[in-house]
Amino acid sequence: MTRHPAQSKCDLLIIGAGPAGMSAAIVARRAGLEVIVADEGEAPGGQIYRNASRSPLADASVLGDDYLAGRALIDAFDASGATHLANCVGWQIESESRRAVAMLTRRAHAGEASGTLDVSARAVLVATGAQERPWPARGWTLPGVMGIGAAQTLLKSSGLAPSQDAVLAGCGPLLWLFASQLLNAGRRVRAIVDTTPRDAWRAALPHALPALAGADYLLKGLRMMRAVKRAGIPVHRRAGAFSIEGEGCAERVRFVDEHGASRSIDTSLVLLHQGVIPSTQLSRSLGCEHEWDASSACWRPRTDARGRSSVENVWIAGDGAGIGGARAAAYAGTLAALDIARELGALDAPARDARSRPARLAMKRHLAVRPLLDALYTPPAALRRPADDVIVCRCEEITAGEIRAIAALGCQGPNQMKAFSRCGMGPCQGRWCGTTVGELIAQVQERAVADVGYYRIRAPIKPVTVDEIADSIALDDGFTRGEFPS
């Protein structure tokens, strides 16, 4: 019996074809590097530029100028000469002996061949972007409840808009962006329930003056809020005690308004959002060091200004290294690619530094508004640490009360919590409960979240079939099957 996974070699393997990954591929190819870009999407663009080059919408301009601007980046990426592996799941990457070895599984789509690919690369750039912050509100597991990011993905990928009785709840720029995009498309929503705390502006005020360097972002946000107001959509600000109710599916939302009055809105679709946080599963599986960012209440990998991680020959760029938005992510990808080219001998240090200077200055301007947004929209602890009866781990249906009870017994961290409760052992592998579990343990034991830590991530970092794992194992003609147990 002879079976070998398909093998490939390159100078640079990039995981993720969003703004950071595409920009890095373009720059690396210009430096003469052989580049492979693996991405789970059917086309390049990532979440922010999903289907920007072939939108199903009759008029894609309803999604805004920033979305349309992604087409130029996608065109440049397509023309770069980088190898793009679409519909490709990277489920194991190991860095050793100055090379990284990755297992990628390409799923069949539109007549393309499927199978497992073994890629050996001299350097790896992790550009996996962000995920929506989990918001374990009461009733968030009911049918009819989903994230605003997921709803926006449906709009971009399939042209599907939510029903007119939808309620948008939470806080953050995406809340207002999606509402304005729906208005541009001729759709409405029933209401917006804004959970931004009353005192958030006071915390954000010290960052207001530096944020003027990114005044275009502030003006865009004001225009979106004005559009919602002009459309007459009810906006309930400074909402608290938010919950979703229904028998078998979402039927209504309840909350306390800014005047302390209890309110209820009937709805069959609730779209939740509390901002986005870096997607760290892949960087954690590689052994990269991470730190707790208290200003935005999330974990982020520890990198230098060029995206170099704590692991040799591994760089991280874009929102996966810290939330900065699409345009900042593109410049981060450029800086990382130039540093990689220097490390691999394709550029000398003076050339790298000279080419990096414009990108560094531009990225600084695009990041100027981030401290203000973090102070304004990072949800308070009360929203991140739910009541005891609220489910935290959706996969295993573990409540906050169960986690607190185990923490009170002396459970030292999320990994021990996993052993005691199965919390984090489901298909999402902790993506939707890891941050909350750490915060709950820290709350009970009066410890710092950074001290509590996070789940230990092991391969496969994405769900794969037994057949796909078997395809990754090389067997020669001398292979013999043993009797169980073998």
SS (H, E, C) 369-407: CHHHHHHHHCCCHHHHCCCCCCEEECCCCEEHHHHHHHH
Cβ neighbors of 32 (< 8 A, separation 6 or more) are: 341, 346
The domain defined by 134-274 folds into FAD/NAD(P)-binding domain (3.50.50)
Query: DSSP assignment, residue 160?
Result: -
> Helices 70-78 and 19-30: crossing angle, nearest 10°?
40
pLDDT of residue 346: 97
Which secondary-structure segment (H or E) carries 97? none
Q: Which residues of the chain have pLDDT under 70?
A: 1-5, 109-113, 473-486
Buried b (16+ CB within 10 A) or exposed e, 283-299: bbbbebebebbeebbbb
Query: DSSP assignment, residue 151?
Result: H
Q: Where do the CATH 1.10.10.1100 domains begin and end in the chain? A: 385-452
pLDDT of residue 102: 87
What homologous superfamily is domain 6-131+277-347 in, according to CATH?
FAD/NAD(P)-binding domain (3.50.50.60)
Looking at the whole model, is its pTM more than 0.85? yes
Decide: 132 and 147 in contact? Cβ < 8 Å: yes
For residue 485, is the peptide bond before it cis, meaning its omega torsion is within 30 degrees of 0? yes
Phi, psi of 3 (to 5 degrees): -145, 125
pLDDT of residue 3: 47
Tell me the three state secondary structure of residue 340. helix
- State the Cα–Cα distance between residues 451 and 184, nearest whole angstrom: 46
Cβ neighbors of 478 (< 8 A, separation 6 or more) are: none
pLDDT of residue 98: 80
- 95 beta partners: 100
Q: Please list the helix, strand and coil fractions of the chain in percent, rounded to the nearest 5, in that order.
A: 35, 20, 40
pLDDT of residue 112: 65
Cβ neighbors of 217 (< 8 A, separation 6 or more) are: 211, 325, 366, 369
The domain defined by 385-452 folds into Arc Repressor Mutant, subunit A (1.10.10)
Q: Where do the CATH 3.50.50.60 domains begin and end in the chain? A: 6-131+277-347, 134-274
Cβ neighbors of 3 (< 8 A, separation 6 or more) are: 471, 473, 474, 475
pLDDT of residue 238: 94
